[in-house]
Structures are given as structure tokens and as C-alpha cells.
Chain A
């Protein structure tokens, strides 16, 4: 029994240590965002990598999610289905599905790539080489990614929202034979600035989380190729979990008041 308690205690302490290290990493990262030198060229490149090149995956998942949503809602509601479909597609996409789906896709795409790239730089001493060339590796590698992640994801989600709602519209008008003008009208009536903005704020947080977990795990990876491999796994898994947890917290914050 004591052994059992002791091991729970040990795990708890390890958890606290890891949380502390991560928090310190995040705070250092944020504070460096506001102090020169800045690397606009690197931020630009990361924006293209994280945002522009994620468009196809995010767009594809968004459109199919929107389509499925319309179909499911239609079969779920026998009476008044048309209004329900419009409402469900618009509200759930802008509030939840847009940010979460884009966040998870980007976690897979960018979190993994970031952890692998920075992890490889760590184990091949490229990060040490940066310091010897009078460049702060934190500013050069971590900060541009944090900034780009925080900016890129809301932009992506904005596009994903539009594509997802368009997917719902396609199914509603072609498969379910609703009147296109009437359906668009209902979607438009349901669309609210608050929902869209809350979704975009969430996505900024998710984007930061993805970049942070990629950088953190990569930066602290050790032990050659295997170490980089597990850093990549941790980056994706921890980012995905943190996205869902923070989604709940943010939702509770936004809609409780």
C-alpha cells in the first residue's frame, strides 16, 4: 500500500516538474517575442509553412465534416429539419469544429514537423552551433514558430469555417433538396460575430499550443534518431490533448458569462 502511494507521489512530482519546465519554456518564449532581435523573414517562412501549406488538409477535412454534419442533422431531426441543419452546421462549425479540426490537423502536420526539425538540430549540435555564432537559438528557432503558429491558425480556421459551411450547403441543396436561397438565408441569420470571434480566439490558443509543444519537445530531445522520434510523438499527442482540454476551458469561459 505504501509502495503504491509512493509511486503515485513520484508520478505526481514528475508531472509537476514537467509542467513547471513547460511553463517556464512558454513564459521565456513569450517574453522573447517582445524583445529584439526579431526575425521577420523566419516568421514569414513559418507562416507560409504552417498556414498556406496546411490549407489543402484543413480544407479537405473541413468540407467533409460540413457535409457529414448536414447529413447527420437531417436524419436526426424529423420535423423542421431545414432550420436545424442550417443552425447546427453554422453554430457548431464556427464555435467548435472549425478550430478543433484545424487545430488537430495542424498538430499532426506542424507539431510533428517542428519537433522533428528542432530535435534533429539538437542532436546534430546545430543548436549549439547557433550559440557559437552569437545567435540565441531560442529567439531564432522557437520565437518565430510561436508567433507564426498563433497567427496562422486563426487564418486557417477562418477559411475552414467558410469551406465547412459550404460543405453543409452542398449537401443541403444537392442531396437533401432544400431551397438554396432559403437555406443560405437561414445560415446567414444564424451566423453570429460572437461565435466566429470566439472560435478564432480559440484557434489562436491552439496554434500557440501546437507550436509550443513542437518546439518544447524538439528542443529537449536527446539520444539520436530514436530521441527525435519520441519527441515527435510526444509533440503530437500532447498538443492534441492540450487542444481538447483548453477547448473545454475556453468554452466554459466564453459561454458561461
Chain B
């Protein structure tokens, strides 16, 4: 970990209609660091990273990526910036019209213009890195289980060797053993690439395992952020309630439909 800041987010705001989702989110991601953003369902975790990746346009705020203001980029510059990123989507988001190997090789073939044969070799190798044999490469994504889809999505996210990897709920919906396998893979991949990582989760086991630093989002703001070891002694009631999963406390779940 170094002191160089890879991503600096300041005052990020985003509303959908009258519903305010992000209300001034601030955080930094340092080079080589693994930041985990925790928060309840619907608290705006996915929206935050989608803004960072330029998949959604924030209403206000600044996002500096390696010192470049990303909110003002568009078109080719925007796509160029994507070379720095790898993203693992919440629902895996594999391309179901393509076989598994081509999913993994996609960023190499389309994004970087590598020839198919070479990209395919790399894809098979990346599948190996997430514990899947070459024969899986021939299958279609629909033929895989949820855990395998997540692994393929992980292989796809790391295939182009990005500098920053974003994981959106990597372990949600998996059994505890598969979740731990994914956690180990995340740690390994991030370390092998020397990448910086942002993970989103509400899984505390996963958080404790993969985080260097933890930030908690609540009501559209980061209400607490510190190194991972201090999470049990945060002195913050919100964090305490969240990590122990208690129904009563300062956080009241919005049961009513909005």
C-alpha cells in the first residue's frame, strides 16, 4: 500500500426523481489498498461504484481517477479510462450469447484488439486462475451454477490486468464455502496484479477477510471509515449495529415501499 491516491471521490450526489440516493459521498482509494464499502441493501453502494465507473452520471461532485476528473470525460476518453478498471457485477452479467472463454477474453479482443487465438490462451489461463478447467471455456454461461458464473465474471474482470478492480457483492447468494473460495480468489487476484480494489458487500465475514480499509455508507453518505482492524472498536453505533446485524439501533430499516 502506498500513499498515492488512485481514486478520490468528493461530494458525490445522485437522485432518482425525488429520491435522494447519494447525498455527498466522500472517500479515497489508495494504491494497492483493498477498500470495502458496507451498507444495507438499497443504501446506494452500487450507484456509488457505477458513478465512479461512469455507468451513471452523478448530479454533482467530483471523481478524480489518477488525478483526472472523470465526471467530465466522454466518448473515447471515457472508454480509454475503462482500461484501468475491471468490474465484477452483482449478477455476474456474463454475455449469454458468447461461450465462457470469449466472455473472459472479451476485454482483450474488443477492448485491446488482441487476436482471438492469443486472447483465447490467456482466457483459458485466467479460468485456471479462478479454479476452472479449460473445458468450462466451451460452455455457455447459462450452463454454469451461480458460483461458477461469479468465478467466470472474476476471470473476466482480471483478464486485461486492470489497475483497479471493483467487486459488487461478490459473495451474495453463494453458499458459505463458495463465498470463502471467492474471497480467497479476490485476495489472490488483487495481490497477483498489485491492483487496488473496491468491494461492496453486506457480508461481514467477507469484509473482515478482504478489507484493508472499511467505509460504511448510510443515508447517502459515508458515515464512518477506518482501517479494517478497528471495525470492532469503531465507537460508532451505526457500525456496531450493522456488523452485529441487530434489528434495533439507530438504523431503522425502511419497510415502507418508497
Pair from one complex: yes
Q: Contact residues of A with B, CB < 8 Å?
A: 117, 121, 124-126, 128-129, 131-136, 140
Name A121's closest neighbour in chain B (CB-CB). Answer: B95
Q: Are A125 and B89 in contact (CB-based, < 8 A)? A: yes
Q: Collect the chain A residues with CB atoms within 8 Å of residue B10's CB.
A: none
Q: Collect the chain A residues with CB atoms within 8 Å of residue B95's CB.
A: 121, 126, 129
Q: Collect the chain B residues with CB atoms within 8 Å of residue A124's CB.
A: 91, 93
Interface-lining segment among B1-9, B47-55, B185-193, B225-233: B47-55
Name A125's closest neighbour in chain B (CB-CB). Answer: B93
A129-B89, A133-B110 are known; give 19 further A-B pairs, CB within 8 A. A124-B93, A125-B91, A126-B96, A128-B53, A128-B93, A129-B93, A129-B95, A131-B54, A131-B55, A132-B55, A132-B87, A133-B107, A133-B156, A134-B82, A134-B111, A134-B160, A135-B110, A135-B111, A136-B79
Q: Would you list 12 pairs from A and B whose C-beta atoms are within 8 A, ordered by A residue?
A: A124-B91, A125-B91, A125-B93, A126-B94, A126-B95, A128-B87, A129-B89, A133-B106, A134-B112, A134-B160, A135-B106, A135-B111
Q: Collect the chain A residues with CB atoms within 8 Å of residue B218's CB.
A: none
- How far, in angstroms, from A126 to B106 measured CA to CA in the complex? 12
Name B113's closest neighbour in chain A (CB-CB). Answer: A37
State the Cβ distance, B100 to closest chain A Cβ, in Å. Answer: 14
Name A120's closest neighbour in chain B (CB-CB). Answer: B96
- How far, in angstroms, from A117 to B91 measured CA to CA in the complex? 17
Q: Which of A117, A126, A132, A140 has the most CB of B within 10 A?
A: A132
Q: Would you list the 9 A-B pairs with minimal beta carbon distance, nearest first?
A: A134-B111, A133-B107, A125-B93, A132-B87, A129-B93, A135-B110, A134-B82, A128-B55, A125-B89
- How far, in angstroms, from A117 to B87 measured CA to CA in the complex? 22
Q: Collect the chain B residues with CB atoms within 8 Å of residue A117's CB.
A: 97
Asked if B90 is at the interface (CB within 8 A of a chain A CB), the reply is: yes
Asked if B86 is at the interface (CB within 8 A of a chain A CB), the reply is: yes
Contact of A134 among B50, B80, B91, B96 (CB under 8 A): B80
Q: Collect the chain A residues with CB atoms within 8 Å of residue B97's CB.
A: 117
Given A128-B50, A129-B87, A134:B79 Cβ within 8 A: yes
Q: Are B54 and A134 in contact (CB-based, < 8 A)? A: no
Name A135's closest neighbour in chain B (CB-CB). Answer: B110
Asked if B101 is at the interface (CB within 8 A of a chain A CB), the reply is: no
Q: Collect the chain B residues with CB atoms within 8 Å of residue A125's CB.
A: 89-91, 93
Q: Which of A121, A124, A140 has the most CB of B within 10 A?
A: A124
Name B162's closest neighbour in chain A (CB-CB). Answer: A132
Q: Are B110 and A140 in contact (CB-based, < 8 A)? A: yes
Q: Collect the chain B residues with CB atoms within 8 Å of residue A133's CB.
A: 82, 106-107, 110-111, 156, 160
Asked if B167 is at the interface (CB within 8 A of a chain A CB), the reply is: no
- How far, in angstroms, from A135 to B50 measured CA to CA in the complex? 16
- How far, in angstroms, from A135 to B76 measured CA to CA in the complex? 10
Q: Are A132 and B110 in contact (CB-based, < 8 A)? A: no
- How far, in angstroms, from A84 to B87 measured CA to CA in the complex? 66
Q: Collect the chain A residues with CB atoms within 8 Å of residue B91's CB.
A: 124-125
Q: Collect the chain A residues with CB atoms within 8 Å of residue B107's CB.
A: 133-135
| Residues from 44 to 85 in B contacting A, C-beta threshold 8 Å | 50, 53-55, 79-80, 82-83, 85
Chain B 106-119, CB within 8 Å of chain A: the 1/0 string? 11001110000000
Q: Collect the chain A residues with CB atoms within 8 Å of residue B79's CB.
A: 131, 134-136
Q: Collect the chain A residues with CB atoms within 8 Å of residue B80's CB.
A: 134
Name B112's closest neighbour in chain A (CB-CB). Answer: A134
State the Cβ distance, A116 to closest chain B Cβ, in Å. Answer: 12
Q: Which of B80, B87, B112, B156 has the most CB of A within 10 A?
A: B87
Q: Are B82 and A131 in contact (CB-based, < 8 A)? A: yes
- How far, in angstroms, from A132 to B85 measured CA to CA in the complex? 7
Name B157's closest neighbour in chain A (CB-CB). Answer: A132
Name B166's closest neighbour in chain A (CB-CB). Answer: A132
Q: Collect the chain A residues with CB atoms within 8 Å of residue B96's CB.
A: 126
- How far, in angstroms, from A124 to B94 measured CA to CA in the complex? 9
Q: Collect the chain B residues with CB atoms within 8 Å of residue A126's CB.
A: 93-96
Name B89's closest neighbour in chain A (CB-CB). Answer: A125
Name A134's closest neighbour in chain B (CB-CB). Answer: B111
Q: Are B90 and A132 in contact (CB-based, < 8 A)? A: no
State the Cβ distance, A215 to closest chain B Cβ, in Å. Answer: 15
Q: Are B86 and A132 in contact (CB-based, < 8 A)? A: yes
- How far, in angstroms, from A140 to B109 measured CA to CA in the complex? 13
Q: Collect the chain A residues with CB atoms within 8 Å of residue B160's CB.
A: 133-134
Q: Collect the chain B residues with CB atoms within 8 Å of residue A135's CB.
A: 79, 106-107, 110-111
Name A35's closest neighbour in chain B (CB-CB). Answer: B76
Q: Collect the chain A residues with CB atoms within 8 Å of residue B50's CB.
A: 128
Q: Collect the chain A residues with CB atoms within 8 Å of residue B85's CB.
A: 132
Given A124-B91, A125-B90, A126-B93, A132:B106 Cβ within 8 A: no
Q: Collect the chain B residues with CB atoms within 8 Å of residue A129's CB.
A: 87, 89, 93-95
